[in-house]
Amino acid sequence: MKTLSLLVALLATGCAAGPDYVRPAAPTATRYTAEPLAANTAASPLADGASQHFAEGKDVSAQWWTVFGSDDLNQLIAAALQANPDLQAADAALRAARETAAAQRGAYLPTVDLHLQPTRQRVADTLSSPTASGTNLYSLHTAQLNIGYTPDVFGATRRQVEAIDAQTDVARFQREAARLTLISNIVNAAINEAALRAQLDAMQQLTAMARQQLDAVRKQQQAGQLGAADVAAQEAALAQAEANLPPLQKQLAQQHDLLAVLAGRYPSEGVAQRLDFSHLTLATELPLSLPAQLVEQRPDIRAAEAQLQAASAQIGIAKAARLPNIALTAALGSSALDAGTLFKSGAGFWSIGADLAQPLFRGGGLLHQQRAAEANYDQAAAQYRSTVLTAFQNVADALHAIDADAQSLRAAANAEQAAHKSWTIAQRQWQLGQTGYPPVLQAGQAWRQATITLIQAQAARYTDTVALFQALGGGWQSE
């Protein structure tokens, strides 16, 4: 009775070994950048050159990509969320983690096993037969129910469940991170495809103009107004323009292949959506969450924190391994020489017992395992802080890019207008015989480069917006 009373007392007062997990404190930073940014970005005289302003304290929408106003983009993302194999793999990993956690909770309950054991055996003639008839050759049929239970006195099981639940959270947040990465990659790929298509269209137009210019130069050579050097210079300009076409065509084809694969299709299947800048709208209002909320919104930060909690639970598991362990066992069964009499009166047996085990000497292994768990916790804490710092850097970089690239677009628009005006004037002066042909070539090359730079600057504003939405966590928590 004293032993039973002791066991009951231990079960009633049992506590979980090791430290109880405490969430890291929220960041104390009050803003993302070292210097306050302007509330509004620079504007440009273009369709997608509107000024953007930051709505501080506003959360990112769960379907943030819809702000670009493209039905084709929305359809492409919806298809990718259903068919992308990387996201499907993340879903499967999450299901596996949840099932593993459910299996671990079974350790709270007793184990019950049923054994049916028929045997045929012969006892040596020099030994006494265990049977009532005294025969040395007999059959024995045994049915036995074994019950085992390990009370979680020092919380080892609770810490194991805590660790596996934390790993489930890791899988959940990693799944959200994979989803956010997929959506961001699709939007960026669509923007890059639109930019490449615009660059290709512009280069084809400039190539056609260069070809027309070459015809005009040749006519003037036949009239004796220009020499062979001017014709050769224009031929070189045309060849240079034509040489720029294949690389753009290659990049556009590769970008289309990327979109197909992101959507879970073979490159040969392609995607039906055709994305152009004319189908995209630049968001004028950009949500900007408070810095203290970023740790709740970024799935990679939440995954790092879940790893930290799992590491904390492992310390408790290691500490519990150094404490006494209690195992309770019970057996109930029946044995008979004939299967037909197996469950008749007098054939039954039972047993009940307990085992208290205290590790005494393991060569220091248990102590070092605990110290290793503590070191792993310190590592997880450092990795968590690194993830938080990187997240803040991502937001700060996106904010700087949005501000700077808005100014770059305005400068690029002004440069393109000036280059086109310069080319128009140089061509008119050449046609009137007021200047030679080299200024026309130089002005044309400057205009061509300014056109490409303008398109790239337009694309940068869209990708900067995507980068901000991604850096702020993509709004997954509001779904």
Read off the pLDDT of residues 285-295 as tens digits, 9 standing for 90 and up: 999 999 999 99
DSSP classification of residue 270? -
DSSP H stretches of helix in 277-364: 294-297, 299-320
Instruction: Identify the helix (H) or strand (E) that includes residue 329.
Output: strand 325-336
Average pLDDT of 420-424? 89
Query: Which pLDDT score, from 0 to 100, does residue 216 have?
Result: 79
Beta strands in 89-136 (DSSP E): 111-122
Cα 99 from Cα 104, distance rounded (Å): 9
Query: Which pLDDT score, from 0 to 100, does residue 4 have?
Result: 44
Domain annotation for the chain: domains and CATH numbers: 61-109+152-321+365-472 (1.20.1600.10), 110-127+135-151+324-357 (2.20.200.10)
pLDDT at 1 over 50: no
Read off the pLDDT of residues 245-274 as tens digits, 9 standing for 90 and up: 999 999 999 999 999 999 999 999 988 888
Report the chain's mean pLDDT, rounded to a whole number. Answer: 89
Cα 193 from Cα 420, distance rounded (Å): 25
Closest by alpha carbon to 397, among 471, 289, 473? 471
Closest by alpha carbon to 176, among 478, 395, 438? 478
Cα 305 from Cα 25, distance rounded (Å): 11
Average pLDDT of 416-430? 87
Residues found in the chain: 479
Whether pTM > 0.75 for this model: the answer is yes
Cα 454 from Cα 413, distance rounded (Å): 6
pLDDT at 73 over 60: yes
Average pLDDT of 410-421? 91
Instruction: Identify the helix (H) or strand (E) that includes residue 467.
Output: helix 438-471
pLDDT band at 123 (very low <50, low <70, confident <90, very high): confident
